[in-house]
Amino acid sequence: MPKSKKSANPINLNDPQYYLNRELSWLEFNHRVLHEACDSRTPLLERLKFLAIFSSNLDEFFMVRIAALKQQVEAKVTQLTPDGRTPQQQLDDIRLNLSPQVVKQHQHFEQVLRPLLAKERIHILDYINLNQKQRTYLDNYFEEQIFPVLTPLAVDPSHPFPYISNLSLNLAVVVKNPDTEEEFFARVKVPSVLPRFLPLPPELGIQENGQPANWTGVPLEQAIAHNLNALFPGMNIQEYHPFRITRDADLALEEDEADDLLLAIEQELRKRRIGGSPVRIEIQSQTPEPIRTRLLQDLDLTDSDVYQVDGLLGLRDLMYFMALPLAELKDPPRQSVVPPRLQRLREPHIDEDVLEMEEGKDFFAVIREKDLFVHHPYQSFSATVVRFITHAAHDPNVLAIKMTLYRTSGDSPIVNALIAAAENGKQVSVLVELKARFDEENNIYWARRLERVGVHVVYGLVGLKTHCKTVMVVRREKDRMRRYVHIGTGNYNPKTARLYTDLGLFSCREELGADITDLFNFLTGYSRQKSYRELLVAPVNMRDRFLSLIQREITNVQKGFTGRIVAKMNSLVDPQIIATLYEASRAGVQIDLIIRGICCLRPGLKDISENIRIISIIGRFLEHSRIYYFYNNSQEEIYIGSADWMRRNLDRRVEVITPIKDQDIAKDLQEILGIMLADNRQAWELQADGSYIQRRPEDDCPEANSQISFMNMALRSTGGTPNLLDSQKGLSYTE
């Protein structure tokens, strides 16, 4: 039976000891990313990719989270986080936890991955180890291709310290005048417009058994460093040292004071290109103290902002090597499939501006039969979501298309379909979220392009980000209008849809169509909609609805029934949700959480969270989907959508969660949850102290070894009856 604790003394569930720190939890997540780079089971080039992702994640963490904490310290903010830390305490603890990770990253690259790459005939050489022919080639390449791009900048009383752009790699150079023996300091920027790694021609690369290597080359900054005489003729090069700067890159937008949101964001983007205050400097550990001190003084940084590394800086550039045509060093290619119900559709095509339809069933007829569920990237995004919007754009019976766009690709076929729809005379309305972080410029471009062809473009709501993923198509059918909707968990981006696991629901149910209509009226007009028929919509009713769903499980347990919650999301941060989950655990509700990233809930605490288990899955695909399951005394309810259990999602964003009414789809979603709960290859179990332990196939993991579904596992100890899969059908990851 589940453990239910009723203490004689009331417990304050808001006590800081029951919460993990958000920033430290994120560092744990990124450490799990780093583990993929260190895991020998991961293909070699994929390990480089994860090393690059680790670095890229850290860059954004410093540009946004560290920058915000430093601003709070400067503003003397004293407000504590739910776990009881001040901003300065968080900065101190972040550095304490992060420094060993950075050391581990660079040591692993230099001592493990570089030798392994060499065994696979991928040679990242140091310039000093090149032979004369190789040096001659690179010196000529420098003169022809690199030298014209470089601009050495002197630093002296008449030349102030130059502006160092965000994420730029630079050389701090000391030169001496041979006549006066006077030394001067200069900065040379390593141009980002050139490849970070310079390949040698095959005939000059390392030869093995008469065969050229797969790749031989050197880092760009080393080719520049060994040709500095060309930049400072007549001077003696004394020393040079690479360094890299990270700046505050978050937008400081006062929406309430902006007359034109588009113009305001464009102005902020120009400021971002210039960059905010420096928040981090990366230097090599052998950089002498005078150079280090000079850089810190000129950049107004302190010792706590310095991260010393042994080896190359800016390892996010290792993503370069994923372009090498070496399939044997990458994950096996995965071909997305077309859902069976969509495999024999008739397709619209244009012939001299006249729409003709091939024989067969159209996309809308498939949805009319019953709701359609899609799971990306296993099922093709292009053959489902893009096809749906393209089909609607060319169908003469479609009168209107309404859509939210948070992020999309640079060559988006979805935007092209929307443009075609407008040109075909359809009413097209698109909410383009201009405040999607680091995609603002791309979204401004698409918004303007859509406006030029007559699409009604809305730029989002003041004070709220529109993060929901929704499309509605209005179609005339005989004597009625029918609304077709798609509600997803991920962005309408064909590129990331191949890399992220996400879910989508197509439906033409009346209640759902009416809710989506009300939602778009809320987004584009002055609607003050306070209730929805089926949808959970933030910031309107989602928080209260989730709390009531959790409370219902508590009530059922108190009545002597089974209580069960399974939830999958990216992050769990919201204190109110966490406190309510603690209440559920104390009542005896069995709770399994699959939290990919940040998790501020402490599982396994005596009398608090003994009935809560939490795993994180890090692997080939970014687990991005959100699924929420509630047992509801055997009348199960399951939901999917765009929102995590975070304050920002529940209170400061427009989000949509939809219930799943189709029982077959509900079972598919339960099986997805079951597979993840049984994962013994890439799942990590969160401990009460905030650390994670990775499951392995050889470990004693009954849930995985028995290959049982999550409902079997859920109800085995509560006396319920499994209703999804028998043990022969369940799945788990194995070697």
CB atoms within 10 A of CB 85: 19
Rounded (10°) CA dihedral 553, 556, 557, 562: -80
**DSSP assignment of 343-399:** TTB--EEEETTEEEE-SSB-HHHHHHHS-EEEEETTB-SIIIIIHHHHHHHH-TTEE
Q: Give the contacts of 467 (CB within 8 A, at least 6 positions apart).
A: 406, 433, 642, 643, 649, 653, 654, 655
Q: Give the contacts of 340 (CB within 8 A, at least 6 positions apart).
A: none
Token duo for residue 121: 């005939």
Q: How far apart are CA 228 and CA 214, in angstroms?
A: 29
Count CA within 13 A, CB hemisphere, residue 202.
6
Backbone angles phi, psi at 421, to 5 degrees: -65, -45
Backbone angles phi, psi at 503, to 5 degrees: -125, 155
Backbone angles phi, psi at 456, to 5 degrees: -80, 110
Identify whether the C-beta of residue 727 lies closer than 8 Å to the C-beta of residue 706.
yes
Rounded (10°) CA dihedral 523, 529, 532, 535: 30
CB atoms within 10 A of CB 393: 23
Active-site pick, 375, 467, 486, 624? 467
Q: How far apart are CA 340 and CA 344, in angstroms?
A: 8
Q: For residue 15, which amino acid is it? A: D
Active-site residue, 159 included? no
Burial of 536 (0-12, 13-18, 19+ CB in 10 A): buried
The residue assigned the tokens 């690199």 is 146
| DSSP 8-class letter at 525 | S
- 187, 232, 282, 408 from 175: Cα distances, Å: 11, 8, 22, 47
Identify whether the C-beta of residue 650 lies closer than 8 Å to the C-beta of residue 641.
no
Strands 278-284 and 236-247 turn out to be antiparallel
Identify whether the C-beta of residue 87 lies closer than 8 Å to the C-beta of residue 77.
yes
Q: How far apart are CA 162 and CA 298, in angstroms?
A: 9
Q: For residue 584, which amino acid is it? A: A
SS (HEC) of 203-246: HHCCEECCEECCEEEEEHHHHHHCCHHHCCCCCEEEEEEEEEEE
**Residues annotated catalytic, as ranges:** 467
